[in-house]
Amino acid sequence: MRKLSIMVAVVLAMALCASSAFADKLQEIKDRGVLICGVKDAVVPFGYIDENSKQLVGMDIDVCNYIAKQLGVKAEFKPVTSATRIPMLVQGSIDLAAATMTHKIARDDTIDFSITYFMDGQKLLVKKGSGIKSAADLKGQKVGTAKGSTSEQNILKVQPDTKVLSFEGYPQAFLALKQGKVKAVTTDSTILLGLKNSDPDPAGWEIVGDFISPEPYGLGLPENESNFRDAVNFALIEMWKSGDYQKVYDKWFGPDTKYALPLTWQMELWP
């Protein structure tokens, strides 16, 4: 009888392990009833705290809410930075990262990505009248950006004779520009637009130069969770086809906003 009890216990343990092994991220999220999204909380207009409502708002927040609704769950948000978003995703403390993250091949070694949900390019933010018009003018100068961003490497590729100072976030890099510690801030043009137009004197700053590099944003997803990745991609495609993406885009980047930017690219749509 004792041997039988032990065998039953072993079989039950094996069944439990098998169940855990086959339980995927999508099912885990549905069982939990919550999609945990890692978003930035200081990058206008993608993710930031609204000074009037004191609520977390932005385009990435709206995208996450749409995906959560398509999955039949609620969205919950955790703040991330350029440096913490991938480690938090790998550790499982967030389900996806909607955090102005460029899809780069090197990052595919660690995480997966959705299809591109936003297209941008890297530029420079400088003091108006500084004389800096492109990366070529930064020779021997200091430039600020955020830790863990692709901008750190990209600027050095086009101007190896500049010194990059990396800050915790873009607001800190912009503050360094105001204080004269750097001659420019470099990152994606929409983030620079948010910094510039959130300043009390936006006319005192200008975004200059051609695109240093293309920046296709993808949602960061856990590695090897194809069911979840498919569900996120299907939600993004539906968002575009239904016209809801255009509505959200216009809310943050439309002609009547402070961050007006024409929508000139097409999301990848699967038949």
State mean pLDDT over 136-143.
96
Share of the chain above pLDDT 90, in %: 87
Q: pLDDT at residue 21 above 50?
A: no
* pLDDT tens profile 65-106: 999 999 999 999 999 999 999 999 999 999 999 999 999 999
> What's the CA gap between 178 and 126, in Å, rounded?
9
Which domains are present in the chain?
25-120+216-253 (3.40.190.10), 121-214 (3.40.190.10)
> What's the CA gap between 104 and 66, in Å, rounded?
25
Pairing of strands 47-49, 112-127: unpaired
> What's the CA gap between 146 and 159, in Å, rounded?
17
* pLDDT tens profile 208-261: 998 999 999 999 999 999 999 999 999 999 999 999 999 999 999 999 999 998
pLDDT of residue 248: 98
State mean pLDDT over 193-217.
94
Both ends of the chain: CA-CA distance in Å? 59
pLDDT of residue 148: 87
Per-residue tokens: 55: 């609520």
Q: Where are the beta strands (DSSP E) in the chain?
A: 34-39, 42-43, 47-49, 56-57, 74-79, 96-98, 112-127, 142-146, 163-167, 184-188, 205-208, 214-221
CB atoms within 10 A of CB 73: 18
* pLDDT tens profile 149-179: 889 999 999 999 999 999 999 999 999 999 9
Q: Is 139 exposed, middle or buried (0-12, 13-18, 19+ CB in 10 A)?
A: exposed
Q: pLDDT at residue 4 above 90?
A: no
The average confidence (pLDDT) of the chain is: 91
For residue 3, give every residue at least 6 positions away whose Cβ sits within 8 Å of its Cβ, in sequence order, or none: none
pLDDT of residue 23: 61
Verify cis geometry, omega within 30 degrees of 0, for the bond prior to 45.
yes
> What's the CA gap between 69 and 83, in Å, rounded?
28
Q: pLDDT at residue 16 above 70?
A: no
> What's the CA gap between 190 and 100, in Å, rounded?
10
Do residues 222 and 110 lie in contact, with contact meaning Cβ atoms separated by under 8 Å? no
pLDDT of residue 259: 92
pTM given for the model = 0.83
* pLDDT tens profile 46-63: 999 999 999 999 999 999
For residue 209, give every residue at least 6 positions away whose Cβ sits within 8 Å of its Cβ, in sequence order, or none: 123, 124, 133, 134, 135
